[in-house]
Amino acid sequence: MSVSYPTPHINATPEDFAKTVLMPGDPLRAKFIAENFLTDAKLVNNVRGIHGYTGLYDGARVSVMASGMGMPSIGIYSYELFNFFGVENIMRIGSAGAISPKIKVRDIVIGMGACTNSAFQHQYHLPGTFAPVASYEMLRKCVDEADKMNVKYHVGNLLSSDTFYNDESDVPETMRSASLWSKMGVMAIEMEAAALYMNAARSGKNALAICTVSDHILTGEVTTAEERQNSFTEMMELALRTAKALG
């Protein structure tokens, strides 16, 4: 495939990115990681305010770039990184809303799979439904690092939703919808993992979603935007250690 740089969404060249890219949704979270965890971090992209940096974490070259919110947004950025910039591994690091009574706010959830209510998969014209799953190698290394860190984590299914505000106007109906997914063992709701996993599958690359639980749909407990931007350091360190383990 012939590619000219910059692409429509990334003003960089393949040499600017490491093999592994961490993708928080929030551009300010990407900036926070670069400033607090990486050494010799260089800003390699800022198109539309989507901060992208490459630096060193404990000697390993790692990139971190925001994905924006929702499957269309992470779909664009991950597609370009996988297919135009030579990136091999992308880790989504973000927030999720728990729908399992076994999971608490600030726990880490690692997406082995990602259910979805999105039509993203329809572009592939498959004669059935597709089950978006994480890279086993990335998942295994992430769990190994989580055990070493002794952090509270859960591995299982996420739900990638296309809607944050939906037409279920009353709380009982919203709770009923969440409970339908919960009874199938789904841990938490977020908005990006399924598209990332599908792009990775189609590109022959690797992906993993690691999320910190920012709120609990069943209990109503929430964290603030500032906490989500700055305090999810355990998840950030886990992702960076996983990136280093990937080599």
Instruction: Give the catalytic positions in this structure.
Output: 215
Q: Is 190 left (phi over 0), alpha (psi -120 to 50) or beta?
A: beta
Between vectors from CA 217 to CA 155 and to CA 192, what angle results, nearest 5°? Answer: 55
CB 139 within 8 A of CB 155: yes
Tokens of 215: 């709120």
Site of tokens 């060193």: 56
Q: Are 123 and 211 in contact (CB under 8 A)?
A: no
Token pair in block for residue 21: 């890219």
CB atoms within 10 A of CB 150: 7
User: What distance in Å separates the CA atoms of residue 44 and residue 66, rounded to the nearest whole number?
Assistant: 12
Tell whether omega for the bond before 6 is within 30 degrees of 0, i.e. cis: yes
Paired strand residues for 91? 22, 208
| Cα angle for residues 186, 187, 192 (degrees, 5° grid) | 90
107, 153 Cβ separation under 8 angstroms: yes
Q: Which of 15-49 are b and which e, b meaning 16 or more Cβ less than 10 Å from the residue's Cβ?
A: ebbbbbbbbbbbbbbbbbbbeebbeebeebbbeee
